[in-house]
Structure 1
Amino acid sequence: MIRDPLGAFVPGTACVVQATGDGPLAGTTFAAKDLFDVAGHVTGCGNPDWARTHAPAKRHAAAVKALLDAGSTLVGKAITDEISLGLVGRNRFEGTPLNPKAPDRVPGGSSSGSASAVAGGLVDTALGTDSGGSVRTPAAFCGLYGLRPTLGRISCEGMMLQSPTFDTCGWFAADGEMFARVGAVLLGAPIGGPAFSRMIVATDCFAIADEPVRAALAPAVARLAGAFASVVEAPLATGDILEWSAAQSLLQRAEFSATFAPFVEAAVPRFSIEVGTTLALAALIGEADLVGPKAFRAEATARMVDLLGDDGVICLPTTPILPPPRDEPFSALMRSVGRIVELTAIAGLTGHPQVNLPLADHGGIPVGLSLIGPKGSDERLVAFARDFPAA
């Protein structure tokens, strides 16, 4: 079992699988969020009653197998927020992984252990999942490269699905070169493609960010501008940008309520207050409540397609807030989750790829800057992240 000074791995769980190939990731190591199946091991999903009521996996998840076949060795299952319902990284049952870049702050979730392990140098890369922001948020909070891919771009076979029309498989790396090496394996294609020529700086997204975030990102945005032939400042939304997160929240909650309802009925599981409350409120959502959000989703997606074309990217803060303190009270953390979704909802609602670039900090606390690209531009976003200088 790997030495774990960060509390990044599921306690008491030894899960080591040697590489099965000698490919482009030979000699590297990775962690898998405890939502990915590993043959012979229970996928615990951050909840003891889920682990108790589920049998060991019979085969590896597709993403786990891809990394093993490429020459990387799995060294452990990383902690996730409980049944992946969280964005700050606290798990009542398994603990809160350390944020190596800001030890007094949360690491972000729900791929908290994966980000912690990479940021702390325990592994070269790690698998995460992103439905409402669960790769992008910990990447931003821990100062890492992280991608939420185009919906459906990377296989989710063998990954616990929470909200099927939002769920994606992503990954983390501490440097651009490793980020691209892993990306080529998971995306199954060479990293590169036509360069983006336009950057739209989403003024409404920056406007709702806290002042320390805006101030930290201003120099990074100015640096990014030099990489594009055209840079314009414009609002992303035609109305209130917060309508995007309102629609995303209702749709995602309805989906994960349906996902977990059979488990709740059969196992009557123990939940933390935040997860139990979230599930209880989600169960009250009816079909009539989803008519408006579904229509809005189609409109928002069309808006993104129009703005991006084939050659554009949207620039925005990854999260509108700094990572909250580890000891922040429950009520304040719930407010923080609501703030985070204000911006992570955009790519999740519309199925677009989004990359976090670790280009800024506020007094040493990481601040993430994001680019959202056209659907299917994943390889191009990763290439930009690899080639743009970090400092």
Structure 2
Amino acid sequence: MESETGAFLEGPRLEIAGAAEGPLAGLRFAAKDLFDVAGHPTGAGNPDWARGRPLPARHAWAVQALLDAGARLVGKTVTCELSLGILGFNAHCGTPPNPAAPGCLPGGSSSGSASAVAAGLADIALGTDSGGSVRVPASLCGLYGLRPTHGRISFEGVCVQAPSFDTAGWFARDAGAFARAGAVLLGEPAAAPGQGPLLLAEDAFALADEAVQAALRPQAARVAALLGGAPRPMALGEPGELAAWGSQRAVLQRAEGWQTFRDWIDRVNPRLAFSVARNLGIGAALTEAQIALAAALRHRVRERARALLDGGAILCIPSTPFTAPPLGLPLHALDALSDRIGLLTSFAGLTGVPQLSLPLGQVAGKPVGLSLLAWRGQDARLLGIARALAG
């Protein structure tokens, strides 16, 4: 019952039957409370977001696509407030439990969606990923999760945070359901894994705890063997670049977030948790020069991604630098953990390439994900790798 009440929004459970037939018939799905469901308020994890807004007249594109494919909607799930969080807590709605690591944070901001799937209350769940909000909970809850190529899946009917970063993704416990959902959402089935080098980013691995590295390196070798070789050690950036990418990604995302929510804040004066209000305030204070510098760096990162991946290579990094942190940590400790995560999630966010988190690692009984990144548009190939690894 803890998992059931904590993952979903409070109140009567929202359920909508899917089409009588379809590729997802028999599967249950949940949707993060950023996705519109016709006739029901979209709360975005904030008690004042829906106030004064008309009820959605139609489902978000992704919700409708899954219903049309035969899946049954079994509820809307808790999100970090305004999707501005990476560890999964919400001061208003509560923190969804992590069934894969009891007593620990689930990761966010798609925390409720990951929690519902990990608890077996849904087979697949929709989430969004701007700064890591599918990849991180997938890693901490032991799930498959994809941040697709930016713009690949329609964001119609989804609450925007930072438009140049926002993506719609999904979770599943098993590779089969994950690939089936992907075929619907991406509009193409999982592709063959293909052959090509697996680039193992040593500087990204060095950011992870030693136990996480030890758990993931053998799994990276499995992926490399599937692709026809051994891991090829390399550096993702020059010394110190990953830290710069993390900080400048935060600049751009916060600047866009402030632009998104500014008028609503002016009009409504909403209730906001301190950490959310603080980060919005940081975005409001950014100068045009700071934003221009971050945008210039983004161009450098995108060219780096093209050089590494456009020829068919797959990049391998840890999804998160650690397993699920315990509940009850003070805010300064949570901030430090969020900053560490951002060092690993910023590459895909800045470049728009797809990133898949695979539930392949275990450390002291808690899951941790291995991430694979490909060039833009190669989402289906990543799904094919996931399916092939699962046998």
**Alpha-carbon distance in structure 1 between the residues aligned to 2:308 and 2:272:** 42
1:236 is matched with 236
Cα distance, 1:3–1:342 mapped onto 2, change above 3 Å: closer
The 5-angstrom pairing of residues 355-370 of structure 1 reads 355-370=356-371
**Alpha-carbon distance in structure 1 between the residues aligned to 2:218 and 2:52:** 50
Structure 1 counterpart of 2:367, which letter? Answer: P
Q: CA deviation at 1:191?
A: 1.5
1:337 is matched with 338
Q: Does 226-235 or 58-67 show the bigger shift?
A: 226-235
SS at match of 1:201: strand
Structure 1 counterpart of 2:214, which letter? Answer: A
2:8 is matched with 9
Does residue 204 (structure 1) correspond to residue 216 (structure 2)? The answer is no
Structure 2 counterpart of 1:152, which letter? Answer: G
TM-score, with length taken from structure 1: 0.97
| Contact persistence 2:36–2:59 (CA under 8 A) | yes
Does residue 294 (structure 1) correspond to residue 295 (structure 2)? The answer is yes
Does residue 259 (structure 1) correspond to residue 253 (structure 2)? The answer is no
Structure 2 counterpart of 1:273, which letter? Answer: F
**Alpha-carbon distance in structure 1 between the residues aligned to 2:141 and 2:3:** 17
SS at match of 1:38: coil
1:130 is matched with 129
1:115 is matched with 114
Q: CA deviation at 1:55?
A: 2.1
Q: Does 163-172 or 15-24 show the bigger shift?
A: 15-24
Q: CA deviation at 1:47?
A: 0.3
- Cα-to-partner distance string for 1:140-160 (whole Å, 9 max, x where unaligned): 000000000000000000011
Cα distance, 1:13–1:347 mapped onto 2, change above 3 Å: farther
Q: CA deviation at 1:193?
A: 4.2
Q: CA deviation at 1:229?
A: 2.8
Cα distance, 1:71–1:3 mapped onto 2, change above 3 Å: farther
Q: CA deviation at 1:52?
A: 2.2
TM-score, with length taken from structure 2: 0.97
2:354 is matched with 353
Structure 2 counterpart of 1:202, which letter? Answer: A
| Contact persistence 2:18–2:68 (CA under 8 A) | yes
SS at match of 1:288: helix
Does residue 149 (structure 1) correspond to residue 148 (structure 2)? The answer is yes
| Contact persistence 1:53–1:267 (CA under 8 A) | no
| Contact persistence 1:6–1:120 (CA under 8 A) | no
Identity %: 50
Q: CA deviation at 1:222?
A: 2.5
Structure 2 counterpart of 1:324, which letter? Answer: P
Q: CA deviation at 1:310?
A: 3.1
Structure 1 counterpart of 2:15, which letter? Answer: V
| Contact persistence 1:196–1:313 (CA under 8 A) | no
**Alpha-carbon distance in structure 2 between the residues aligned to 1:321 and 1:196:** 30
Count of aligned pairs: 389
**Alpha-carbon distance in structure 1 between the residues aligned to 2:34 and 2:338:** 21
**Alpha-carbon distance in structure 1 between the residues aligned to 2:195 and 2:158:** 32
| Contact persistence 1:6–1:117 (CA under 8 A) | no
The 5-angstrom pairing of residues 160-171 of structure 1 reads 160-171=159-170
SS at match of 1:5: helix
Q: Does 5-14 or 154-163 show the bigger shift?
A: 5-14
Structure 2 counterpart of 1:232, which letter? Answer: R
| Contact persistence 1:321–1:339 (CA under 8 A) | no
Cα distance, 1:118–1:108 mapped onto 2, change above 3 Å: same
**Alpha-carbon distance in structure 2 between the residues aligned to 1:349 and 1:210:** 24
SS at match of 1:320: coil
Q: CA deviation at 1:218?
A: 2.2
The 5-angstrom pairing of residues 303-318 of structure 1 reads 303-318=304-319
Give the superposed CA RMSD: 1.4
**Alpha-carbon distance in structure 1 between the residues aligned to 2:110 and 2:20:** 26
1:75 is matched with 74
Q: CA deviation at 1:4?
A: 5.5
SS at match of 1:339: helix
Q: CA deviation at 1:196?
A: 4.0
**Alpha-carbon distance in structure 2 between the residues aligned to 1:206 and 1:3:** 34
**Alpha-carbon distance in structure 1 between the residues aligned to 2:33 and 2:278:** 22
**Alpha-carbon distance in structure 2 between the residues aligned to 1:141 and 1:125:** 16
**Alpha-carbon distance in structure 2 between the residues aligned to 1:360 and 1:190:** 26
Structure 2 counterpart of 1:133, which letter? Answer: G
Segments of 5+ residues of structure 1 without an aligned counterpart are none
The 5-angstrom pairing of residues 20-35 of structure 1 reads 20-35=19-34
Cα distance, 1:172–1:52 mapped onto 2, change above 3 Å: same
Q: CA deviation at 1:224?
A: 2.2
- Cα-to-partner distance string for 1:289-335 (whole Å, 9 max, x where unaligned): 11111111111111111111231110000011222111111211111
**Alpha-carbon distance in structure 1 between the residues aligned to 2:252 and 2:104:** 30
**Alpha-carbon distance in structure 1 between the residues aligned to 2:136 and 2:302:** 22
Segments of 5+ residues of structure 2 without an aligned counterpart are none
| Contact persistence 2:128–2:166 (CA under 8 A) | yes
**Alpha-carbon distance in structure 1 between the residues aligned to 2:194 and 2:324:** 32
